[in-house]
Amino acid sequence: MNHYFADLTKNVQHALAEDLGAADLTAELIAENTQARARVIVREKAIICGQAWFNEVFKQLDDTVLISWQCEDGDSVAENQLLCEIQGSARSILTAERTALNFMQTLSATATLTAQYVAALGETTTQLLDTRKTLPGLRLAQKYAVKCGGGRNHRLGLYDAILIKENHIIACGGLEKAVKKAKQLHPGVQVEVETENLDEVKQALNAQADIIMLDNFSHEMIRQAVALNQGQAKLEVSGNIEIDQLKSLANTGVDFISTGAITKHLRAIDLSMRFEFS
């Protein structure tokens, strides 16, 4: 799990630099020694995610600020539920507020939407996968949020698995040549190939691809691909996946359904920070 946090410090540094610049001019209106308490409330049902990024914002700004969490990442929370209480310098809390909430509202949105997609699969054995269609700079953070929402990660990047797509196939001179070359160059690395029709599925099976992606296949074509496959390779459905299609797609017998929607079609979770000054 720790690899998800590899970019955390850098993520927060960049976000604070973007927001703070040289100084928080408005926070300077408050006396330097003013102390405050704050409570973070969620305004809607959600799956919470992003505590480490939230905490890191305060740590980098002022590590004397105390945060007491009332929930954990992956928890389902109700409307108006208390998420955490914060105590410390009023200036520090006000300066950190927007950056900390931005991380949490975005990652909670990813986890919440993922959970909705997973729920739509019902009792099927098909697993939901994410894609590389993530927000720039937040790849690992959003992959973590997908896990918190009950989804499964596809490859993290271009470095940990091979996915041969249409343009790779053209450049390599054919699907089977591309798969063969991949297995020669990187033995032991999972090789997936994207197919657009049943003939390409047959070629992928002949080439012994580990996973075959069925890109924008109709339900009938998917069923035919499952029959052709006979369990030889894992099958993944992808392309314009809508949440109301998930159950029927899963019932065709495929292993995975992948969608970029859970990391890019987001509506931020509504969070509120309430202050008490002393």
**Mind listing the pLDDT tens digit for each residue in 69-121?**
999 999 999 999 999 999 999 999 999 999 999 999 999 999 999 999 999 99
Q: HEC string of 236-276?
A: EEECCCCHHHHHHHHCCCCCEEECCHHHHCCCCCCEEEEEE
177 catalytic? Reply is no
Arithmetic mean of pLDDT over the chain: 96
Say which of 200, 210, 215, 255 is annotated catalytic: 215
215 is catalytic: yes
Question: What distance lies between CA 218 and its chain's CA centroid?
Answer: 26
Helix ranges, 21-83 (H): 51-61
pLDDT of residue 230: 95
Residue 135 corresponds to which amino acid?
L
Q: How far is CA 259 from the centre of its chain?
A: 11
**Percent of the chain having pLDDT more than 70?**
99
Q: In which band, very low, low, confident or very high, does the pLDDT at 22 lie, cut at 50, 70 and 90?
A: confident
- Catalytic hit among 39, 152, 165, 223: 165
Q: How is residue 66 written in tokens?
A: 């105390």
Res 276 pLDDT > 80? yes
> Do 130 and 258 form a contact (C-beta atoms < 8 A)?
yes
Q: Is 24 a catalytic residue?
A: no
Considering 10, 43, 45, 98, which one is annotated as catalytic?
Answer: 98
* pTM across the whole model: 0.95
